Amino acid sequence: MVAYFILGFLQFDRSVFSKEFIALNGIYSFWSGLFIGLIWGSFFKITILFRDRFTSYLGIVLLIAFANVLSAFLMVYSLFLLEKTVKLVEMPQTLSQLYQFYQSQMFYALLLYCFIVSLFFQFLYEMDRKLGRGVLINFILGRYHRPKEEQRVFLFMDLKSSTYYAEKLGHLKYSCLIQDCFHHLSSAVVKSDAQIYQFVGDEVVLSWEVKKGFETHTCLQCFIDFTNTLETKKEYYLKQYSMFPIFKAGLHTGKIMVAQVGQSKSEIAYHGDVINTASRVQGLCNIYNSRLLLTGDFLMLPNSEQKTGWNYEGLGNIVIKGKKNRVELFSFKYTVN
């Protein structure tokens, strides 16, 4: 959109045309650029939505190529329909000129431009996925160039009986199982606005920054949504792996230091007792026969809403390995929808 606006605005010779004429055409170019940008942006969004349905990388590449070619044709056709409003140089005025334009070097240049822009945005999108939502912008802005203290919630989720299933399935099929589980986790992560801190084997660590307006039930709902998603895919897992994955989890919150670390490979890292405690709490799930354990510190956060069907069973003040002070622990009970 920006490139189109600049092209439309700068093509006029200021020594020939009046300021009013240039300003009017600048406005036309802006709205036309917005319209063209919506076309390309819509194709980009549709491509992102459909790409996960392709199992092969070649299929994804062909989808992106097809979307870019089609968007280029539609952009030119849109300019043709708007020719009375938009006065860009060398744009077609009739259907015969439009057909000739599709075979011209200018159209191939436009097509190349679409591919370059697409590659740029695909790169940004993949980097954002690789680093985690919101992490890329923090790197660019240097938010954690120096250690910063934050209040955060951590949710550790781990596959129950993972060693048994790894031996039963073999390393290849077990890896596919974990890949499927974390793929089905995505919708719950997006819905709860969680940040994925890291994947460690069959364990995933999610995080939320506690700030104004933060509601604790979103963390619990994230685990419930993930569980419900797995339930809807139960037939698939039984058919594919002859087992149904069950995850156990631990929730804890507190002050923690956040910093950008590393030179040859940089990442956002969390330092502090909070993350260790959350991991230890998750490790107690088998002992207390609970799918989800959470601490008293988490329940003391503001906006701790208890929904219908939710129940917190107090387990008392528990001694956790590596901590001098006892931790108040609760088992979270809920009804699977």
Task: Indicate the pTM of the whole model.
Answer: 0.71
CA distance linking residue 269 with residue 258, whole number of Å: 6
DSSP string of 12-81, one letter each residue = S-TTTS-HHHHHHHHHHHHHHHHHHHHHHHHHHHHHHHHHTT-SSHHHHHHHHHHHHHHHHHHHHHHHHH
Helix, strand, or coil here: 114? helix
pLDDT at 212: 77
Domain ranges across the chain: 2-131, 135-333
Answer whether 222's CB lies under 8 Å from 189's CB: yes
- List Cβ neighbours of 24 (8 Å cut-off, separation of 6 or more): none
Query: How many residues would you count in the chain?
Result: 337
Structure-token pair, residue 71: 């968007």
pLDDT at 91: 63
Q: 10 Å Cβ neighbour count for 299? A: 17
Answer whether 259's CB lies under 8 Å from 135's CB: no
Q: Write out the E strands in the chain.
A: 148-159, 195-200, 203-209, 247-261, 267-271, 292-295, 311-318, 327-333
Q: Quick one: how many helices (H) and strands (E) in the chain?
A: 12, 8
- List Cβ neighbours of 138 (8 Å cut-off, separation of 6 or more): 144, 268
Helix, strand, or coil here: 222? helix
Which of the listed CATH numbers 3.30.70.1230, 2.40.50.140, 2.30.30.60, 1.10.3720.10 matches domain 135-333?
A: 3.30.70.1230
State the 10-residue block means of pLDDT for the chain, 337 residues long: 48 50 58 66 73 73 78 73 58 74 76 75 74 69 78 94 90 92 91 89 92 84 94 94 94 90 77 91 92 92 73 89 86 75
CA distance linking residue 147 with residue 323, whole number of Å: 24
CB-neighbour burial class of residue 4 (10 A; exposed 0-12, middle 13-18, buried 19+)? buried
CB-neighbour burial class of residue 281 (10 A; exposed 0-12, middle 13-18, buried 19+)? buried
Nearest to 275 by CA among 300, 250, 302, 292: 250
pLDDT at 227: 93
pLDDT at 217: 87
pLDDT at 12: 45
User: What backbone torsions phi and psi does residue 330 show, to the nearest 5 degrees?
Assistant: -135, 145
pLDDT at 86: 54
Structure-token pair, residue 18: 């009046």
Answer whether 175's CB lies under 8 Å from 197's CB: no
Which residue type sits at 121?
F
Helix, strand, or coil here: 249? strand
pLDDT at 244: 94
